[in-house]
Amino acid sequence: MINKLSYSARRKILMIFTGIILSYVREYIQYKRYFWNSITHFIGSTIVHYIVMLLVGAISYGLIKSKINYFIEQGETSKEYETSMDEFLFKYCIVILVACVFIFFVAHYNAPFDLYDD
């Protein structure tokens, strides 16, 4: 079934899933709990994280596209590195997901030593 979806639909599903994971990790780190107060709080938090991810991704894509000449030399090779907005947001969501998983595991890690030992 997932193979029948278009690339844009897959990206949107991935962004919604990333928004859920991002709001879940933030909920745990901020309030030290694994659940939201209500379904409306869950939906609102997910929508807010989805919108913020989309805005940050769009702004970073715009900055990269406007300054592409500074990072990649002119010529035939510059065409290889050009990506569409959909492709950029897909890669951006994967990076956010990996960062969320890493932060979640680090938040649960109990160090075998005390960093603030007097």
Write down the pLDDT at residue 36.
80
Cα 83–chain centre separation: 18
pLDDT exceeds cutoff 70 at 112:
no
- Cα separation, 110 vs 113, in Å, equals 9
Tokens of 28: 């745990």
Write down the pLDDT at residue 109.
75
- Cα separation, 44 vs 71, in Å, equals 38
Q: 118: number of CA atoms within 13 Å, CB side? A: 0
| Each residue's pLDDT tens digit, 55-108 | 988 888 888 777 665 555 555 545 556 777 778 888 888 899 999 889 888 877
Q: Are 78 and 72 in contact (CB under 8 A)?
A: yes
pTM over 0.85: no
Across the range 21-33, mean pLDDT stands at 84
- Specify the higher pLDDT residue, 11 or 115: 11
Write down the pLDDT at residue 72.
55
